[in-house]
Amino acid sequence: MSATAFQNDKNNSAYRYRWRDASGQSYFSDSLTSDALKVGYDVVNSQGMVVRHVDRQLTTDERAAAKKVADQQAAAKAVADQQARDDAQTLNAYPTEEAYTAARQSQVDNFHQAVNTTQLNLQGQEKTLADLLNRAGDLERAKQPVPPYLTERIGEQRNTVAGLRATLQRQQAAEASAKAGMAADIQHYRQLKAARANGG
């Protein structure tokens, strides 16, 4: 029964409110007081039996702290639930360890192939940039002005090379991460298989 219902029924059911102050002194009232709300109270029937206890009201800081904890717990549960779904999907997609290992190795191979492709592209673009710089250098050594189009082309080529270098770094990091995580992922897969075999 809600506090409102208790309040509405107090005339018929003789419900009262009891609370204690800091010294342990008990107080009774037919209506809720601010003191009762601050410290928490018991709802007592006409026989003096406690039918419900209501904790004290939380302060603003306490409510904020409680909400933060609740939000953290909800976020952790969401992560755990998603991990459980991912694990189930993995087991359904790869019924054997051999199939799972092959899939993970294929991932690593794909990362490695992407790195090789970018490295080859970067080498070609770096050679093009070197050729442009040599052309500009030859003109300068011949005391001739460097045409604006060549200066612009050199700037564009430098941007291309810088972009490819950044891409290569990301791809190499992804390949290294995939290699490092493969053993742990396979071990996790084994644990999932064992848990499923045991009914977990």
pLDDT digits (tens, 9 = 90+) for 74-92: 999 999 999 999 999 999 9
Tell me, rounded to whole angstroms, the distance of Cα 83 from its chain centroid.
11
The total number of residues shown for the chain amounts to: 200
DSSP secondary structure of 62-87:
HHHHHHHHHHHHHHHHHHHHHHHHHH
Spatial separation of the C-alpha atoms in residues 104 and 186, rounded to whole Å: 9
pLDDT of 187-198, one tens digit each?
Answer: 999 999 999 988
Q: 3-state class of 200 per DSSP?
A: coil
Residues 6+ apart with CB under 8 A from 21: 27, 35, 39
Look at residue 104 and tell me whether its pLDDT is greater than 80. Answer: yes
Spatial separation of the C-alpha atoms in residues 87 and 16, rounded to whole Å: 54
Please name which of 107, 109, 115, 106 lies closest in space to residue 171, comparing C-alpha atoms. Answer: 115
**Strand (E) or helix (H) holding 92:** helix 60-93
Categorize the per-residue pLDDT at 1 as very low, low, confident or very high, splitting at 50, 70 and 90.
Answer: very low
Residues 6+ apart with CB under 8 A from 119: 168
pLDDT of 150-186, one tens digit each?
Answer: 999 999 999 999 999 999 999 999 999 999 999 999 9
Longest dimension (CA), the chain: 112
pLDDT of 8-67, one tens digit each?
Answer: 444 445 778 888 887 888 888 888 888 888 888 989 888 888 888 988 878 889 889 989
**Tokens standing for residue 16:** 């009262």
Categorize the per-residue pLDDT at 200 as very low, low, confident or very high, splitting at 50, 70 and 90.
Answer: low
Tell me, rounded to whole angstroms, the distance of Cα 5 from its chain centroid.
43
